[in-house]
Structure 1
């Protein structure tokens, strides 16, 4: 059976939304033997404009020594400000914990140390995710810092399989 290239269907009711909340700790470690980011482009322009760094930051469920890795924030950040240090971040939070393993949240926004990031999508357990990550500086270390993250989003579980659809391109 040939699968159609395009399907569309009427929506009889609004998508059911679920809410998620995580309280995690991001280890931003740009220095030392355990660093989790690396510069890949250094144009040597004023204010480091255009510098690009790839990251694989670890996210833990706690702050102490017994904390467990829950996910990784994998992507890049780019120095996008010509007059000021203004880093743009774009990455996926990829979950490693058994409950959500392989699911992801797509994230974007400015700087690591303060403010907010937008959740603009999701996969696996979190399809169509939209939300915000509130972040604040928690602790300075010799090799980097730890950020406290409050992740709050809504997502819409999707049904797979047969649906009442029109098929085009069969």
Structure 2
């Protein structure tokens, strides 16, 4: 039997799931364990247009026994002409056994406080939508720790759900 080029399924065929994570992002712009780097410096006032690439680590706790759960990999760009305002575009890529390879697609302002929007996902978190609440937690000598409350809904879409067996 030939595989169909396309298939349309009713929305009710998609099971909605809710996820919640409480994680700690290590934002480390300084040596020795730097996890971001400048890649564009246009030399404009207030560093307008500067761009950084990041590979921030997300842990399940604060102690020395904390485990890396995911990495926030992407870019942040200085978008404020009159002040130091950044916009973040990143993928939270999970490394733990349960969700390995799944990701959340995230965007929003500044890293330390406020909210980021979850605008998509892959793997286990297909079609994710939600929000990440961020709170500055601790200043360290080479960076800081940001507490993240991740809350989203996603649909467990599998190839067989859409008739692509």
Q: Deviations over 1:60-89 (max 9, x none)?
A: 000111100000000000000111111000
Q: Does the C-alpha gap of structure 1 residues 44 and 61 become closer, same or farther in structure 2, counting only changes over 3 Å?
A: same
In structure 1, the residue matched to 2:41 is 42
Q: Residue 161 of structure 1 aligns to a residue in which SS?
A: helix
Summarize the Cα distance change of 1:19–1:54 in structure 2 as closer, same or farther, 3 Å threshold: same
Q: What is the correspondence of 1:60-99 to structure 2 with a 5 Å cutoff?
A: 60-99=59-98
Q: Which runs of 5+ in 1 are unaligned?
A: 166-170
Instruction: Give the SS at the match of 1:20.
Output: strand
Partner Cα distance (2:69, 2:32) in 1 = 21
TM-score of the superposition, structure 1-length normalised?
0.91
- Per-residue displacement from partner, 1:103-162 (whole Å, max 9, x unpaired)? 000000000000000000000110000000000000000100000000000000113137
Equivalenced residue count is 164
Q: Cα distance, 1:15 vs. partner?
A: 2.7
Aligned runs of 1:56-135 on 2, under 5 Å?
56-135=55-134
TM-score by length of 2: 0.93
* Residue 16 (structure 1) shift: 1.9
| Root mean square deviation of aligned Cα | 1.8
Q: Is the 8 A contact 2:26 2:57 kept in 1?
A: yes
Identify, as 1 or 2, the structure richer in helix: 2
Q: 1:9-36: per-residue Cα shift (whole Å, max 9, x none)?
A: 1416263210000000000000011100
Matched, 1:25 2:24: yes
Most deviating of 14-23 and 134-143: 14-23
Q: Does 1:152 align with 2:144?
A: no
Asked if structure 1 preserves the Cα contact closer than 8 Å seen for 2:13 and 2:161, the reply is no
Q: 1:80 to 1:131 in 2, by over 3 A?
A: same
